[in-house]
Structure formats: C-alpha cells, structure tokens
Structure 1
C-alpha cells in the first residue's frame, strides 16, 4: 500500500473513530456564551458528561504528560463533580454523587498513590462541613477521614504528609468578646483551627487556634451585620496549611492578608508575612507583601520561597492590583527580608475574587487554577503563559456559574474495576457504529472490536474485526455488513496486553443490505484488519437494526 493510500485511509477513518466532540480553540463565541452557560460533552457509550474546554493557548513546553484535575460546580453545573482531563481537554475520569466536591489531587500515603478530595456541605458560612476521601488506583473508596474532636472537616485543605498524617482546616462557632468591633460582648465568632491527625488512627497530633494568637482587630474584613447570634463573624478565614522539614506550619489567612509561620513544638507564631502584623522588610518596594485575600500558600525551593495565589482584586482599596496574580516570594528568615522573584499574570488579566490555586510543577513550570473563574493556565518559571484554557464562558466570570476551588496537574495511572462501556447506536448521519469508553482507564492504548456468532464461544473463537488507537475519551467503530451478530470491545495497553473487555452486545439483524464484495481487500490498521464492505446506514432501503 502506498503512502498516499495510507494518508487517504487515515483521513477517511479519523472522523469515524474520534467520537468526542472537537474541543474549542480560541473560540470567541464560546466565551460570549453562544454555546451556553456551561458547554458540556455528552457521550453515547456512557451517561457521564464533561466540560467542553476552550483552549486559548497551547505549547509543547507545557507538562503535557500530567493530567488536569478540577472539581467543577456552580449555578450552571447540573451535578458537582470531580473530573480529570488530559492535556487536550478530553475526559479521563469523572465522578459525582458526593454533594459538593473540592480539592481533587493525587497524594501519596504509605508508598501508594491516591486520589483525594473533600466532599460535603459548602454552604456553612463560606466554609465546609464534610469529610476527606481517598480513592485507590482502581477508584475504590479506601478511606473517609473525619476531623478530630467531633468537628466537621472544612473544605479548604487536606494535605497528606510523609509521616502518614493529614493537615486539615476546621471551623467552629464560639462565643467571643466582639466589643472592639462594635458588637456584643458575647458575640458569635468563627474560630479557625489547623489540625494534624494520624490517618491510621484518627488521633489528633497537633491543633492550632487562630484566636489564641491573633486579635480580632487584626482582620481586614468589615464585620457588617455579623457577630450576632446566628451570624457568626469570620475574622481569620484559614484556607491552606503547609508543613516544612523542621516540623513547623505555614498557614494562610484570607482576611488577615497574611501567611503565618507557626512552631510545631509550641504553637507560637515565629513570624508573619503580610497584613497588619507583617514582620518582613520588603525588598520589592511593597510588591512582596501587599497580597490580599490570598490562597494556597506553600513552601517551595527547599523551604526558602513561599508561593501563593493572590486574590487582591477582592479588595476595594485602589492601591492594590487590578487583577489576579500568582506570586513567588523569597524569604531570608535571618535578615527577615522578603523579595518578589516571580509573578504570574494571565494574558487576559483575569480577575478572581475568591478561591484559586498555585502549583509548582516538577518540570519547573507553574500551574494556576482561577477558582471562581472557570480557567486554568500553565506558565514557564519566568512567568510566560504557555497553555491557557477555559471550561466556562468568560462573560460569566465572577457570577459563580462555573467554578472549581482549585485546579491541579498530576501524574495518575488509573485501573478501574468496571468493564469498558459499549453501545451500538447510529451517528448523526444514520451510520450504525459501536461506541466505547472506559471511565478512569488511563493506560488504554488501543481498542479492538471483536465479533462472534455466539457469545458463549471459546475465547479463541472471537475474531478481531478492527483495531483503533485510542483518541480522546470515546472511540467509535464503523459497523460493516458482514460483521458477526455479537460484538465486544477489548482494551489493550502499549504492550498489547489486555486490560479489560466489555460485555458482548447482540446485534439482531432484521434485513442485511447487499455487500458489493466479500470483506476484501483487507487493510491493516494499527496491526489489525478490517473489512472494506459498505457501512450499515439507516437511510438505505434494506437496513440493519442493532440492539443490545
């Protein structure tokens, strides 16, 4: 077969085999809402859905070997979900049914990889009341982790340490003297706690309470109508916890506009970066310490640099930045100096008033999720935007229609215990096809369509009809007239080892249209053969009706 023949064959086959709808590329109509408030991808082999992504910018310099993880929710999202996408925006895995979901990421515990996330009620005064979940590589729930002392786990953070412990945020309503803010002496206050718990036993190892170390007057938040019975005031709002090799804790406070470094031995404050109690000399003319309402503060570069997602746009003061930015701040803890060494600003100058994430990737790039704004961007280490995508239209940014508390990128290998999904349905032109997908299966390299005259035949009697390299989430096979009555799908990896197979489907043929020839000549596709008969088409006079 000549190269030109192969190219023509590839052009002929490609529209048939990629069943996913084509993702958008720098589509202005997408961001104006032409395709709806939340464009989604539907599939024929399964009932799950996924966001249709608008890719504004892409680059081979991005960490395309990693998978993107979001937890989409909002007014326009029918069911809050945890979702994994590949670098092209194709679905890899998704799950719902957990109420609200936050913080999907990959973490290691006792040498094994797990998907972790928080799920529960996120309407509790801007916090959460729920649990932390761990799924193994087969997507089995292996742990449901609770906060210590009978409290509800908050949505903001769940970080597993190398010692098999977890760092979590906890909120609890207490009675406090709020007269300094013009409220009752016995007013309602949200108390923020940082807890470290042992995952194996649930035992509390460490707890830090913000009110024992901060005054309520240190807050930047206006108390307004809060502070009375039934309207607890949140003066601190803890939204991330990190721990360094010294055993000390790094806590981010949204309403203090600060990051606090806490002794793991005594619980006392070692230093404060930013806010009213800032202890650092800013070497960047104020740019290293003027962050506000920030999220996701983490140690990096051997605990010498703090990275964070700066939500300063949420502040009404005119001297703060007019758009969201990621920051890397180098600290000299002996000289007590802070210097801004990295700044990451979306090319479209996105303004995110809440939520968001900043992740330092293994290859040196930076990945940012824009929280209340349905976007994520990967940057080079010097701040150049490399890859930029939206999973909701830009005209609704800030409305809460589509959002994800954080967005991360991780390496993940999933081996679901389910069978591949399969369906026989006509496409939009009436051509009958076999559609297949496998929610969560990351190692599928190719799909093989097999046929048999009887579903109970021996394994060796199933005939390979066609093989197609996996493209996207859902793949389709054209049905040809002389295919056997029963068909199934087999998933194989790059080594051609079987990963799983679908249940067989029974195609009951009512009337078989004439075939212009026997299935000959036979072409080779990815090492497998397929016939060249005319495809079944529901518009023909004599047509086949297929059912499962």
Structure 2
C-alpha cells in the first residue's frame, strides 16, 4: 500500500511510496513507517529478487526467489541511505520460514519485517519475525550495526532469553527494549508455549545483556500478530494487543484481545476481546480527547 498524508481538515495532501533506484514509486510494507518531518521519512518495502543461495544450505539449486527487504530514509525526494537484506548472507542461514531443500517454486518471505522504531542514539531498531531477531540499522549509511536474537545473535542470549516470531520492538522509559515474544517456534514443533512480553537492557560497548525480565499474562499463546506498549513505567503497567490467541490449558477457541496488565501486583485491569473473525494488528496510545 502507501502512506496517506492528510492536513488538519483530513484532506489528502500526499501519498508516500517507496522510491526505487530509478526513482519509481513501489508499494510499501505497512508494518512500520517513521514520519520525521514534511517530505522526510523512513519507509520499508519488499522487492522480489532472485538470490544466489550458498550450496551448504542444501538447496536443490543455488537460486531462489526471495522477498528482499529494503528500508530507506527519504528527504525532499532524495534517498539518504538504504538497507538491503540481501546484502547479509547470514539471513539466508537463519531464516525460519524456508526449507532450502524443497522445490524453490515460490517467492519466500525469508525475513518478515514487522516493526521499526528509533533507538536512543538515532539509529533504528527493526524486528524481523522470520529471523527470530531484532536488527539495529545505522541511519548514517544503512549498514547493520548488530543483531539481537536469532542464530547470529551478538549479545550471547541464554536459552531462557531467546525469543521467536516476535513483534513490536519499542523503547522503554529507562532506555531499555521491550518486545512481544510470540514463542511460535515451540508451536511449529508441536509444543505450544506461552507468549510473553520481554523487557531487557543491553550494554552495547561490551555486547552483553545487563537486565532481563519476561512477563506472561493469562497463559496466552499468540502464534501471530501482537503489540505492546508501556503505559506506566514506575508501576510496570503494560497494554497488550494480541491475535490468534488461546489459553494453552483450555479448549477455548482463538480470540483477539487487548489486555492492560500491572506486573507489580499481577492485576489484569482491562481485557477486551474482539469477535472471532476480527482483530487488531497494531496498538497505538494517544492523549485523551477532551
């Protein structure tokens, strides 16, 4: 799709697309968009490209059609920098969505970008669900700075700290990171786990995790979708938005929910369920309208 820009009267004044190398507009990925100023933004898109696959991965042939992720910052119609997932061979090795020895007869979404936010230093954090990883990307030149999680994790996460098929990477008030861990790897193995919220702090100089907490609510497992927002840092109050949920100890059919949860006393103060065939993919907090 595209990002539609409106004025204070809700009149459409612009439509934003991804600009390719020829300056042509292509459809963007709706999972993440950063508005910086008028005619200044960061946007993501996929391009179907034929990529050479290393022989040791075990593909029947060495070529595969992949949905290659591109992220770029644009100002006044000029591309300032660009990130391309095909520049990093490690993503081919650690993708959880591709079995390379099967017939490569379709285009694979091998990274699956689903969230993007600024870090405290002005670089961006990107969640890639099919890599089980958070990427930090430079806003100077679009290069990969580090990877948190996945097979090429740079921070030495322990088994208890790993996450899978995650969503919604955001910053907390204290400068840490928060994400929604779908924990779907266990589900694909036939062992449904409990989805959770992870809060962690990293030391980027020593590349270590200095603080880690995992919160789970109502034993819910959400195999896809999900979002998290910090409402009150002092009292650890969080708002979840989760989809495809079910309690692992219940025969209750899946539901889509929003849950307000206070970690300090384990209180669920708000729980709203959508109808079975409806849901929310995103979760935003705004000031109350007077």
TM-score (norm 2): 0.81
SS at match of 2:217: coil
Aligned to 2:248: none
Deviations 1:60-80 (A, max 9, x none): xxxxxxxxxxxxxxxxxxxxx
SS at match of 1:371: strand
Q: Contact between 1:252 and 1:260, CA under 8 Å: does it hold in 2?
A: yes
SS at match of 2:131: coil
Structure 1 pair 286/186, CA: closer, same or farther in 2 (3 Å)?
A: closer
- Give how far 1:319 is off: 10
CA distance in 2, matches of 1:226, 1:172: 21
Structure 1 pair 190/406, CA: closer, same or farther in 2 (3 Å)?
A: same
Q: Contact between 1:371 and 1:406, CA under 8 Å: does it hold in 2?
A: no
Q: Indicate which of 216, 222, 241 corresponds to 1:352.
A: 222
Q: Contact between 2:51 and 2:86, CA under 8 Å: does it hold in 1?
A: no
Q: Contact between 2:81 and 2:141, CA under 8 Å: does it hold in 1?
A: no
Q: Contact between 1:308 and 1:326, CA under 8 Å: does it hold in 2?
A: yes
Structure 1 pair 177/207, CA: closer, same or farther in 2 (3 Å)?
A: same
Structure 1 pair 181/392, CA: closer, same or farther in 2 (3 Å)?
A: farther
SS at match of 1:409: coil
Structure 1 pair 375/339, CA: closer, same or farther in 2 (3 Å)?
A: farther
Structure 1 pair 362/370, CA: closer, same or farther in 2 (3 Å)?
A: same
RMSD (Å) for aligned C-alpha atoms: 2.8
Q: Indicate which of 94, 110, 119 corresponds to 1:235.
A: 110
- Give how far 1:208 is off: 0.3
Aligned to 1:218: 94
- Give how far 1:192 is off: 0.7
- Give how far 1:156 is off: 1.0
Answer 1 or 2: higher relative contact order, Cα 8 Å, separation at least 6: 1
Task: Show structure 2 runs of 5+ residues with no match.
Answer: 245-254
CA distance in 2, matches of 1:252, 1:131: 20
| Matched ranges for 1:461-476 at <5 A | none
Q: Does 1:323 align with 2:194?
A: yes
Aligned to 1:392: 275
Aligned to 1:301: 173
CA distance in 1, matches of 2:103, 2:129: 17
Q: Indicate which of 241, 246, 258 corresponds to 1:376.
A: 258
Deviations 1:443-495 (A, max 9, x none): 5xxxxxxxxxxxxxxxxxxxxxxxxxxxxxxxxxxxxxxxxxxxxxxxxxxxx
Q: Contact between 2:232 and 2:238, CA under 8 Å: does it hold in 1?
A: no
Task: Show structure 1 runs of 5+ residues with no match.
Answer: 1-129, 394-400, 414-442, 444-548
- Give how far 1:277 is off: 0.6
CA distance in 2, matches of 1:296, 1:331: 17
CA distance in 1, matches of 2:115, 2:198: 15
Deviations 1:51-102 (A, max 9, x none): xxxxxxxxxxxxxxxxxxxxxxxxxxxxxxxxxxxxxxxxxxxxxxxxxxxx
Deviations 1:245-295 (A, max 9, x none): 43322111111101111222243322211110111134xx5333x100111
Name the structure with the higher strand share.
2
Q: Does 1:194 align with 2:71?
A: yes
CA distance in 2, matches of 1:342, 1:380: 14
| Matched ranges for 1:94-493 at <5 A | 130-149=1-20, 150-161=25-36, 165-178=40-53, 179=55, 180-198=57-75, 201-215=76-90, 216-223=92-99, 227-228=104-105, 231-282=106-157, 285-288=158-161, 290-301=162-173, 304-313=175-184, 315-316=186-187, 322-339=193-210, 341-347=212-218, 349-361=219-231, 365-372=237-244, 373-380=255-262, 382=264, 384-393=267-276, 401-411=277-287, 413=289, 443=290
Q: Contact between 1:308 and 1:327, CA under 8 Å: does it hold in 2?
A: yes
Which has the larger Rg? 1
Q: Contact between 1:327 and 1:340, CA under 8 Å: does it hold in 2?
A: no
CA distance in 1, matches of 2:178, 2:37: 20
